């Protein structure tokens, strides 16, 4: 009888007052998972079936460093329409950056300039998008100082990336381990051996996927 009397009152309570099932843990983005496992074939399938420009850019951005297949750097647009997201602009910037790294001197200058312009547009739209921070930090690490490169600023971007990964719903395409690896690399480049070694020990204790284990053993440069 008591339950019958209370039922109308319980029905008036806001949804948050009722017990709700726990929400499932977010599923890692498939492009990030395939990239970390060095599964280029799976990424190619994703690219073939991609429905959006953002998905196509992301697949190409992840595929090129795995395969070094220059087809993924062909036919790159120089810019995107005004409605393009910060992530799309950052990914296109990263692809132009890959092209700059393998072009002739003159071609590298042109490609590098396009990459920087796209990245700046991306930062204006959303400076905390995970790919804006990741690609921006990478660009600063490998860009000559005369062209604005800075290891210190790169380190700040990677540290910011690690902070935002836990608070953004769109952060699943960048793994926490990937952000930590680039932070470790930037710590080395900025001559912070104690902090770099401490982070490396933590990373070495994790069950890292193949690509990240290789990065830790044989970093770039």
Query: What angle (nearest 5°) sits at the alpha carbon of residue 61, between those of residues 99 and 179?
Result: 110
Each domain of the chain, given as residue ranges in start order, spans 29-73+81-217
Residue 110: predicted pLDDT: 92
Mean pLDDT, contiguous 10-residue spans, the chain (221 residues) = 32 34 43 95 96 96 96 95 97 96 81 95 97 97 88 98 88 90 98 98 96 95 73
pTM for the model stands at 0.84
| Dist. CA 175–CA 138, nearest whole Å | 15
- Residue 150 has phi, psi (to 5 degrees) of -160, 115
102, 108, 111, 114: CA torsion to nearest 10: 140
Under CATH, to which class is 29-73+81-217 assigned? mainly alpha
Q: Encoding tokens for residue 37?
A: 């496992």
Q: Encoding tokens for residue 59?
A: 């697949």
């Amino acid at each position: 009888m008591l339950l019958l009397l209370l039922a109308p009152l319980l029905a008036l309570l806001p949804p948050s007052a009722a017990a709700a099932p726990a929400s499932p843990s977010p599923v890692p983005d498939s492009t990030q998972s395939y990239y970390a496992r060095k599964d280029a074939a799976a990424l190619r399938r994703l690219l073939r079936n991609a429905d959006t420009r953002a998905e196509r850019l992301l697949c190409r951005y992840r595929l090129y460093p795995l395969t070094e297949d220059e087809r993924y750097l062909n036919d790159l647009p120089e810019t995107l329409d005004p409605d393009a997201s910060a992530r799309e602009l950052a990914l296109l910037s990263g692809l132009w950056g890959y092209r700059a790294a393998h072009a002739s001197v003159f071609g590298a200058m042109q490609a590098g300039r396009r990459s920087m312009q796209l990245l700046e547009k991306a930062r204006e739209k959303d400076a905390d998008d995970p790919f804006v921070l990741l690609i921006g930090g990478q660009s600063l690490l490998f860009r000559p100082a005369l062209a604005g490169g800075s290891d210190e600023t790169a380190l700040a971007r990677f540290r910011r990336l690690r902070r935002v990964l836990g608070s953004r719903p769109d952060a699943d395409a960048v793994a926490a381990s990937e952000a930590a690896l680039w932070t470790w690399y930037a710590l080395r480049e900025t001559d912070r051996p104690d902090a770099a070694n401490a982070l490396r020990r933590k990373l070495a204790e994790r069950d890292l996927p193949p690509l990240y284990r290789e990065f830790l053993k044989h970093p770039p440069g």
